């Protein structure tokens, strides 16, 4: 199962909130040990236009290449 959520400030740390539907469907209870796989996806729109063009590929071709394997 894959969910998308944002980190939130929790004291001096960051935390994530698990959606109620996920908690109920997986029967997660307080103090259960769970494993979270962390993958930070780059924001490609912030990268384009910041580097000199060294390729003859279009921006769309570069984005398509970068997104390969995200599935």
Beta bridge partners of 13: 10
At 10, list the tokens.
């929790």
| Model pLDDT for residues 18-57, shown as the tens digit of each residue | 999 999 999 999 999 999 888 877 776 666 666 666 778 8
Report if pTM > 0.95. Answer: no
């Amino acid at each position: 199962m894959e969910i998308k959520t944002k980190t939130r400030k929790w004291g001096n740390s960051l935390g994530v909130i698990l959606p109620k539907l996920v908690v109920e469907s997986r029967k997660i209870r307080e103090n259960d040990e769970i494993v979270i796989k962390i993958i930070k996806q780059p924001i490609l729109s912030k990268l384009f236009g910041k580097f000199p063009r060294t390729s003859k590929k279009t921006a769309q071709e570069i984005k398509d290449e970068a997104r390969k394997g995200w599935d």
